[in-house]
Structure 1
């Protein structure tokens, strides 16, 4: 066991170098704010950690006082409010160090994928970012991490070499496949159940450019494009990573013209092979329906955000997901009945199905807690919920869609995009029963007092 135990004087919050704020203090609201402004946090105390020592001190104080703890970097994954306890913000911890010879990056807890890509690019290297480089790299990775290039390279956790993590006893531990392997396992797909990560080291890979973008057609052509895309996904190489979506985009400045305010069907893609071959592979997609907007081009990997064009400014969002075993014709009809042109009042901004398989289906080199390797497709929804009436409509639409797609699902979700976790049965859907039981035992070993009880967590065994 590799652990560094701080001395008892670090119980004192005065030892923390970053801000320590309570409700009403200047800067409190800014410190607790996250990207998803639908989750308004009101913890009893927030610590703006500047490094691992601050996290250690905060956790030792929490353990000594029995105070429950939550952690937030960017707030992209904030799915419900934190209304008590201690919130540790790692947003100031943004260091990224690249070792070009070893092809690795050491990433601090608050660094965004944008920081990682910018640090790696001068060396001709890349990392497994998601659809928005504004998301925090560490929080994304401990939840498994479903990258844009997942079919080509696998999950973000597949490339993780090691973590440094502060467990609820206040110990700073270094863990990898050989050192505290059960802790390492739980941090790779088990989310924030066993500690607060202060930094991770992950592998990089040589890549500077991709063929990427999206093909859009008016939403009334959704069935034609979706049918063609599904047939296409059953015969393309692993290097082609794509997703089909129905989009009802609001008329807000965050959405670029000419898509703003429109109803669209879209295939977004990234291809890591030869661009000429990639363009040739795209022919059936472009021929499936009249193309209104085509943004596919060869781009620098650091420009990955141009593929999915997700908003970069905070919004009140509601998201959900489900893993799908297959999409037969009746599943297509069920999906489009809920979100397609025959349901014009659907409040979901995005209803997307991502192609899985390829490297996402291969066994990991080191065992992890991801339970999505048997899925063929991945369903995700996003809605903007500015007020309670809209929230109620979104909940009804989300529930109806998931009920319609349940016969084609695996019964599981991915923890990062699960949405607001419900009761224990609902939370357990992010893992198989065996993985859930194992994660509960890991929770018992590292957090028996259940201090880390906010977010998508499990109960100790």
Structure 2
């Protein structure tokens, strides 16, 4: 493809190069640990901008990266083209069809607020600042995942610019193979500029966090009580456990400084009365530091996890498990607890329910028109995640630590979740089962034979 002359493009659109005013601000994202230094940045405001940027990159033989919010950067990179999509942040709700059309740069908080005006909710993640489209392309493990499945299961259509610079409207009926691969394949097959996704008729929840002091209540006892409890709850309950030692820093609230806290997080779409009955065994574990379990509007669902909302440097990895080795997970808690010498956040997500059912059979109408996707490891019962701040820490040392800490869980590991792989793009192993990987590699050869979109976890 002939290189595109950027002279006119620069005059009409935002283009940044190293050293120019606005360059550093444009490439800044939530993840500050993986430095991005592209040769040229195209700040896209619409599909035409994305088309021009892709054609320029293809003509110049440059790799393309895409950034909405910068939460899930696969690794550091230098050179090439970066397309930023934060300005493409439109949301349009069709209340009758129960769908949302979401632009490439839209954050989940925007979608939640827009859908709530119509008595609906998206299948969003726990953090309102995360990009909705990029999260969905990785699968999308939402707050209500056990009841409704992955967010990708509910996508009706996608608008994408492929490596040939062509904009395409992709549906399961019109282009089933590309539709399948875009949902779960991440950013390997093109730049998704918008998607249409189903919504669910949820306006309120019973949920929140029940937090214990890990120095006063045995962490192993919390874990064993929690895992036993998950075997008794219906699919309408989605939950997780998180454990971390807060650093003793003056900028933290006094009640958090230096404390080892273990939080059980719950989201339930049933009544508050039934929710109270369901969580009674959790409250019986022992004295809680805080009990925030309550009825709340869905617009406050992000308070269940209270994820940090400020940019920072982090490293992380995960394992999708067929079953949970309790002694192995207890060892992980011990290695990442108060004696670790470094801050680590450990999270255990209870999976199953609609996540394990075939797409189109999740028991909801929100996935009409979605007949399948590339989201793998659906038979996983648990997701184990470890996240660590990167400041002053060698990545190689953290990688070695993770391998040692997760080793007892490896026999039951089915693979890794793309949404929570923050350990460098040179580690694609386990993100897909072999059959899914081969099918994605075939699509890659068809739609991106020159591997233009290689600033991500590879599938080929």
TM-score in same-fold range (> 0.5): yes
Number of residues paired by the alignment?
Answer: 447
1:405-458 CA-to-partner distances (Å, cap 9, x unmatched) read 212322x001121223454xx414111000000000000010000011112122
Equivalent residues of 2:212, 2:262 under 8 A apart = yes
Residue ranges of structure 1 left out of the alignment (5+ in a row): 1-6
Q: 1:14 aligns with which of 8, 22, 28?
A: 8
1:396 is displaced (CA, Å) by: 3.5
Give the direction of change, closer, same or farther, for the CA distance of 1:238–1:51 in structure 2 (3 Å limit). same
Distance in 2 (alpha carbons) for counterparts of 1:74 and 1:87:
13
Give the aligned partner of residue 75 of structure 2: 80
Give the aligned partner of residue 4 of structure 1: none
Equivalent residues of 1:348, 1:397 under 8 A apart = no
Asked if 1:300 corresponds to 2:303, the answer is: no
1:333 is displaced (CA, Å) by: 3.5
Give the direction of change, closer, same or farther, for the CA distance of 1:309–1:193 in structure 2 (3 Å limit). same
Superposed, 1:30-429 pairs within 5 Å as: 30-220=25-215, 221-251=218-248, 258-340=255-337, 344-345=339-340, 347-365=342-360, 366-389=371-394, 391=395, 393-410=397-414, 412-421=415-424, 423=426, 426-429=427-430
1:10 is displaced (CA, Å) by: 6.4
Give the aligned partner of residue 365 of structure 2: none
Match of 2:37, SS state, is coil
Equivalent residues of 2:75, 2:425 under 8 A apart = no
Distance in 2 (alpha carbons) for counterparts of 1:292 and 1:443:
50
1:130-169 CA-to-partner distances (Å, cap 9, x unmatched) read 1101100000000111111100110010110000000011
Give the direction of change, closer, same or farther, for the CA distance of 1:236–1:397 in structure 2 (3 Å limit). same
1:292 is displaced (CA, Å) by: 1.1
User: What is the TM-score when the length of structure 1 is the normalising length?
Assistant: 0.93
Give the direction of change, closer, same or farther, for the CA distance of 1:124–1:75 in structure 2 (3 Å limit). same
Distance in 2 (alpha carbons) for counterparts of 1:296 and 1:441:
47
Residue ranges of structure 2 left out of the alignment (5+ in a row): 361-370
Distance in 1 (alpha carbons) for counterparts of 2:249 and 2:269:
32
Distance in 1 (alpha carbons) for counterparts of 2:76 and 2:400:
21
Equivalent residues of 1:11, 1:60 under 8 A apart = no
Equivalent residues of 1:210, 1:270 under 8 A apart = yes
1:320-355 CA-to-partner distances (Å, cap 9, x unmatched) read 1110111144334333343345xx125243101100
Distance in 2 (alpha carbons) for counterparts of 1:406 and 1:103:
41
Distance in 2 (alpha carbons) for counterparts of 1:269 and 1:257:
25
1:94 is displaced (CA, Å) by: 0.5
Alignment root-mean-square deviation, CA = 1.9
Give the direction of change, closer, same or farther, for the CA distance of 1:454–1:50 in structure 2 (3 Å limit). same
Distance in 2 (alpha carbons) for counterparts of 1:358 and 1:317:
30
Equivalent residues of 1:191, 1:457 under 8 A apart = no
Match of 1:299, SS state, is strand
Distance in 2 (alpha carbons) for counterparts of 1:271 and 1:141:
22
After superposing on structure 2, the runs of 4+ consecutive aligned residues of structure 1 that deviate more than 4 Å are: 7-11, 251-257
Give the direction of change, closer, same or farther, for the CA distance of 1:29–1:407 in structure 2 (3 Å limit). same
